[in-house]
Amino acid sequence: MWNWFHKLASPPHFYRIASAFEPWLLWLAIACMLTGAYGGLVLAPADHVQGDGFRIIYVHVPAAFLSMFSYALMAVASGIGLIWRMKLAFSVAAATAPVGAAFTFLALVTGAIWGQPMWGSYWEWDPRLTSELILLFLFLGYIFLRQALAETRQADRASGILALVGVVNLPIIHYSVEWWNSIHQGPSLIKLEAPSITTDMLWPLLAMIIGYQLLFLAILMTSVRTQVLQREQNARWITEQLGTENIHG
Amino acid sequence: MLQAFQLVISRELQMAFRRWSDLALPVIFFMIVCMLFPLAVGQDQAILQKIGPGAIWVAALLATLLSLNTLYREDFDDGTLEQLALSTQPLTILLLAKTVAHWIVTELPLIAITPLLTLGFNLPAEGVYGLMLTLLAGTPALSLLGSVGAALTAGLHQASGLIALLLLPLTIPILIFGARAADLAASGQSIAGPLYLLGGLSVLALTLCPFATAAAVRVSLD
Amino acid sequence: MDTTSYSLEWQDLTLWRGERCLQQGLKGKLASGQAITLKGPNGCGKTTLLRTLCGLSQPETGKVLWQGKQIHKIRNKFHAHLAYSGHNNGLKRDLSTRENLRFAARLRGRHTNQNELLNGLRLTACADLPVRNLSAGQQRRASLALILGSGAEFWVLDEPFTNLDRSGCEWLARRCNDHLGMGGLLLTAGHQDSLLNPERETIIELAGAN
């Protein structure tokens, strides 16, 4: 097990595995998302309160789920990188941040679009949307810190510390925002809740979540491979690897 | 170890009092930001009274942020930070001492001046007392978190705005609990609940942040 | 200073700066009474190597051993024997030389005779002025006073002769030779011709980065 872990962590090995898996992940993701989209947009019945408006959950919920997932992944990868000094883990963390930020942004936008018919305004200080907004800023802080530190090794470790501080803080932020909302909440507010859900609404959602997750992994693989190429640009295995690929291609 | 802690604090205080302009700057900034709110919102006493505690908390947060920029940058530039990192004492303790000194030099004057500023928002007397209590309980967490951010950006000259982006999202819980408790105090209710939460945050920050700061300083020096 | 002999050893060091590999497979040893001077063109990694050997920078690969133990595992013990002077002088500009020296000594838990030190460095006259009012050369001397007063066995000096006048250079070289004579270790980097005792000094030429 440990051996396998070490082998996976070696950049050339990871590069090969990622290159092999990536197309499969991408095709599976597309298949899942098409199935989910068909199920969600065509097969599922309209909600009796929200009408067709609820269908945006098929984008919103998976994006929101992934935004949290990617922050957690980023923090775990940073932690592994800091403790075991593993460069690949830092590559994963660095690659996760922009993807995570993009999904967070998507969750915010879809949340606002969904909010328009529900609340009559694009933005309400709903606790989940607020947390999501703060999460976006946390991602941006991470990305900007990396950008500011020119030295890769320093950027890795500094942004790793930031990610760990952030992940400890995240539950506290979430709780405080919930608490803040429960005090200041207006009297007649419809919350952004997934409507009471039936099976034919649920399975497309699950398909979408799985599809998004696979898409995320596929993007991550590409992004980590780019990171690896940048970091190891002088290593011999790169010229060998790319050399053979050029011959085949 | 305790001796080193005291030594660093006394040196920091000595330097702070030699450069009184640095000492006064956050306080003046704090006052100006507090003045901006009535100017922006209007002189409606009811509205000012309502936003007062929150506005003062936001101003305190921004004033702290302003002071944090120089917390480690100067030490980084003159080489004293690497001397601390190479000392025989644990870096965590030395940096904690610097953070405590920062709190004494920056936050205590802010808290001291708060009663004066509450006049502008027409806050009742018990509200003033409560507001000061919340600042007293919450600002240690602010300094401790801020010291992590300052350590991460110690070597970055071009990015002085970066620390705001790093820190402000992380300080949101402190702001929420602090402003809420101050709000309760202003309306004459018990502030025990949010005050305990604030104190809890400060204790949590005290146990975790010094280690993150020390790690961040070592990274910055690398 | 006690008479124990000390040694610093480094093995297979690889140093990187950014995306560039500066040095590869460096190894060496420094023992009591010896000096090593690093030379080489700008940007070849002299400062990085010095900082790595103090534990300020982490090497990409390889180990640095003090008395046979890795330095980051015995950090506080190692630091007790180490005095480092880098490009920045390590002095607070708002405090006087005397105050800076006193702080450094007390942080080490020592009491040094400041007057003797200040006399030797010809700093007595300006010892009570804030460091920022001193000239570059005087600041350099004050910074060296930190090293001389540290009581540490292992001195690491990055370009110590910069900004010093001729007599200052000679004085410093004399102090360094005394230090070596008493069993101290010395590691420096610099461009000048060496003034150190040639019997004790090893010069390492670092190749320029390619």
Within a 10 A sphere around the Cβ of A117, how many other Cβ atoms? 13
CB distance B185 to B165 below 8 Å: no
Which tokens go with B85? 């990192």
Q: What pLDDT digit, counting tens, does each position of B101-154 carry?
A: 999 999 999 999 999 999 888 888 888 999 999 999 999 999 999 999 999 999
- Percent of chain B at pLDDT > 70 equals 100
pLDDT of residue A53: 78
C84 beta partners: C156
Chain A partners (3+ C-beta pairs within 8 A): B, C
Cα of A89 to nearest chain B Cα, Å = 17
Contact B173 A137 (CB under 8 A): no
Contact B222 C56 (CB under 8 A): yes
Residue C9's φ and ψ, nearest 5 degrees, are -135, 140
Cα of C207 to nearest chain A Cα, Å = 19
pLDDT in tens, chain C (210 residues): 456 788 898 988 888 877 677 888 888 888 888 888 888 888 888 888 999 999 998 888 888 999 889 988 888 889 999 999 988 888 998 999 999 999 998 888 887 778 888 887 888 888 888 998 988 888 988 898 888 888 888 999 988 888 888 888 888 888 889 998 888 899 998 877 777 777 788 888 887 755
Contact A166 B168 (CB under 8 A): no
Q: Is A134 on the interface with B (CB under 8 A)?
A: yes
What is the C-alpha to C-alpha distance for residues B110 and B65, in angstroms, rounded to an integer?
13
CB distance A203 to A44 below 8 Å: no
Residue ranges of chain B whose CB lies within 8 Å of a chain C CB: 3-4, 7-8, 11, 14-15, 18-19, 77-80, 82-83, 85-90, 221-222
Q: Best interface-test mutation with C: which of A90, A153, A228 has the largest number of C CBs within 10 A?
A: A153
Q: Which of B78, B85, B90 sits opposite C93 (nearest CB)?
A: B78
Q: What pLDDT digit, counting tens, does each position of C49-76 carry?
A: 999 999 998 888 888 999 889 988 888 8
Chain C partners (3+ C-beta pairs within 8 A): A, B
What is the C-alpha to C-alpha distance for residues A211 and A103, in angstroms, rounded to an integer?
14
- Residue in B with minimal Cα distance to A157: B219
Least confident stretch, A229-243, B32-46, B61-75: A229-243
pLDDT of residue A219 exceeding 90: yes
Which tokens go with A176? 């405080």
pLDDT of residue A249: 37
Q: Which of A137, A161, A172 sits opposite B152 (nearest CB)?
A: A161
CB distance B135 to B114 below 8 Å: yes
Residue B149 Cα to chain centre, angstroms: 12
Cα of C116 to nearest chain B Cα, Å = 23
The interface predicted TM-score of the complex, written ipTM, equals 0.90
Contact C18 A234 (CB under 8 A): no
Looking at residue B124, what DSSP letter applies? -
Local structure of C31: helix, strand or coil = strand
Q: How confident is the model at residue A45 (pLDDT cuts 50, 70, 90)?
A: confident
Contact C94 B19 (CB under 8 A): yes
Average pLDDT over residues A18-38: 90
pLDDT of residue A183 exceeding 80: no
Q: Is C18 on the interface with A (CB under 8 A)?
A: yes
Contact B83 C57 (CB under 8 A): no
Is residue B31 packed enough to be buried (19+ CB in 10 Å), middle (13-18) or exposed (0-12)?
middle
pLDDT of residue B150: 94
pLDDT of residue B95 exceeding 80: yes
Cα of A152 to nearest chain C Cα, Å = 6
Q: What pLDDT digit, counting tens, does each position of A142-180 carry?
A: 999 999 988 888 899 999 999 999 999 999 998 888 888
Domain boundaries, chain A: 53-183+195-248
Is residue A62 packed enough to be buried (19+ CB in 10 Å), middle (13-18) or exposed (0-12)?
buried
- Residue in B with minimal Cα distance to C17: B222
Q: Is B220 on the interface with A (CB under 8 A)?
A: yes
pLDDT of residue C84: 93
pLDDT of residue B173 exceeding 80: yes
Cα of A148 to nearest chain B Cα, Å = 7
Average pLDDT over residues A30-54: 84
Contact C21 A234 (CB under 8 A): yes
Q: Which chain C residues touch A151 with a CB distance below 8 Å?
A: 17-18
Local structure of A23: helix, strand or coil = helix
What is the C-alpha to C-alpha distance for residues C22 and C40, in angstroms, rounded to an integer?
12
Q: Which of C55, C90, C107 sits opposite B7 (nearest CB)?
A: C107
Distances, alpha carbon C62 to alpha carbons A85, A157, C203, in Å: 13, 19, 21
Cα of C90 to nearest chain B Cα, Å = 4
pLDDT of residue A189 exceeding 50: no
pTM: 0.90
Contact B7 C103 (CB under 8 A): yes
Q: Is A150 on the interface with B (CB under 8 A)?
A: no
Q: How confident is the model at residue B19 (pLDDT cuts 50, 70, 90)?
A: confident
Cα of A107 to nearest chain B Cα, Å = 18
- Residue in C with minimal Cα distance to B80: C90
Contact A144 B173 (CB under 8 A): no
What is the C-alpha to C-alpha distance for residues A55 and A113, in angstroms, rounded to an integer?
11
Q: Which chain A residues touch C21 with a CB distance below 8 Å?
A: 234
pLDDT of residue B158 exceeding 80: no
